[in-house]
């Protein structure tokens, strides 16, 4: 099933079974969404439940917050995470805090979906990965989906929650076809072990999961290095227990992500592992991340700015040889 179809199916199911679920955003109605995620919902549920908005991100999130406070379950779409900067006051000062500042009297069953990441030559202002911004804010839940299973089940779970969820998608995954299956009792707060291994724990999320799996396949075939690959579905909170359990077995940690290395998710994961499992480690944690530059438009430079399967393979292999593997 296509990634975008899995998201569409989750929205359709939620809207069919709960009349409080509404969708709003730029071009989500008649046009079916910039990436076709809401395709067909406008015809099926009408303009009162699939609402086209002006190009006004602050207003979209603010309106969704108001809807949630009044008893609806809005799913707002921001066309790309790059435009979410215009709505940061709504995310940080309203969406994340209202339940706490009301002493738990107010519930905010609200999801804000948006794609992020490097596509192909969309240039620096439309190619950012900003998960660390949202994952650093107490009061928000942050989910991400790396395939059709986590897209469908993760989004459906987010819509059913009574707290605000930022749901991150990757722009290059929408057209990708993944195996699909119904997973009973899917838990987005539980990280998934996509590949078991014994030598290195490799943690990733979103599109980098697939580049990591490819690199780890080469490491096993060519070099006999066995990697355990963990896919984070929730970035706030993070399922540290699954990572801890794996590192206790492998004694080595690698984190792969597309955002720039400095102050990214890899920094938090490396720090936590160093704090909690220092004496289990046979090597310092390795972060493989984007370069410290705005993403260039030129395709060759663009690929140089982010991890690729080839770069992930080379970095892990070099690091492994330096640390006893």
Asked if residue 316 lies in contact with residue 286, where contact means CB atoms within 8 angstroms, the answer is yes
**Among this protein's residues, is 126 annotated catalytic?**
yes
Query: Catalytic pick from 77, 126, 132, 210?
Result: 126
Distance (Å, whole) CA 233 – CA 169: 11
CA-wise closest residue to 189 among 231, 220, 218: 231
Q: How many other C-beta atoms can be found within 10 angstroms of the C-beta atom of residue 324?
A: 10
> Which member of 16, 17, 26, 57 is catalytic?
57
Give the burial class of 100: count Cβ atoms within 10 A of its Cβ; 0-12 exposed, 13-18 middle, 19 or more buried: exposed
Whether 275 sits among the annotated catalytic residues: the reply is no
**CA 139/CA 200 separation, integer angstroms:** 33
β-strand pairing of 200-204 with 253-260: parallel
- Secondary structure element (H or E) that encloses residue 255, with its range: strand 253-260
255 bridge partner residues: 203, 287
- Name the one residue in this structure whose structure tokens are 């355990």: 228
Active site residues: 57, 126
């Amino acid at each position: 099933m296509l990634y975008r179809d899995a998201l569409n199916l989750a929205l359709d199911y939620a809207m069919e079974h709960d009349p409080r679920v509404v969708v709003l955003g730029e071009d989500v109605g008649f046009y079916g969404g910039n990436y076709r995620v809401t395709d067909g919902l406008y015809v099926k549920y009408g303009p009162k439940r699939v609402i086209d908005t002006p190009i006004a991100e602050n207003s979209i999130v603010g309106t969704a917050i108001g809807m949630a406070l009044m008893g609806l379950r809005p799913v707002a779409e921001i066309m790309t995470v790059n435009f979410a900067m215009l709505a940061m006051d709504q995310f940080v000062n309203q969406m994340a805090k209202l339940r706490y500042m009301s002493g738990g009297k107010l519930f905010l069953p609200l999801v804000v979906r948006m794609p992020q990441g490097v596509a192909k030559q969309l240039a620096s202002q439309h190619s950012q990965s900003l998960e660390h911004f949202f994952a650093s804010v107490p009061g928000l839940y942050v989910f991400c989906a790396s395939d059709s299973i986590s897209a469908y089940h993760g989004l459906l779970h987010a819509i059913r929650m009574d707290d605000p969820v930022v749901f991150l998608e990757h722009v290059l995954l929408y057209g990708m076809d993944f195996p699909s299956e119904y997973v009973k009792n899917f838990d987005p707060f539980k990280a998934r072990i996509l590949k078991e291994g014994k030598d290195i724990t490799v943690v990733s999320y979103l599109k980098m999961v697939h580049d990591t799996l490819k690199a780890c396949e080469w490491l096993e075939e060519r070099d006999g290095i066995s990697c355990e690959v963990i896919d984070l579905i929730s970035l706030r909170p993070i399922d540290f227990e699954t990572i801890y359990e794996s590192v206790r077995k492998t004694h080595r940690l690698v984190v792969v992500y597309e955002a720039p290395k400095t102050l990214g998710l890899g920094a938090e994961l490396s720090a936590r592992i160093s704090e909690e499992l220092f004496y289990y480690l046979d090597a310092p944690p390795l972060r493989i991340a984007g370069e410290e530059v705005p993403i260039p438009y030129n395709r060759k430079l663009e690929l140089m700015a982010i991890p690729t399967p080839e770069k992930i393979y080379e970095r892990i292999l070099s690091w492994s040889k330096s640390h006893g593997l």
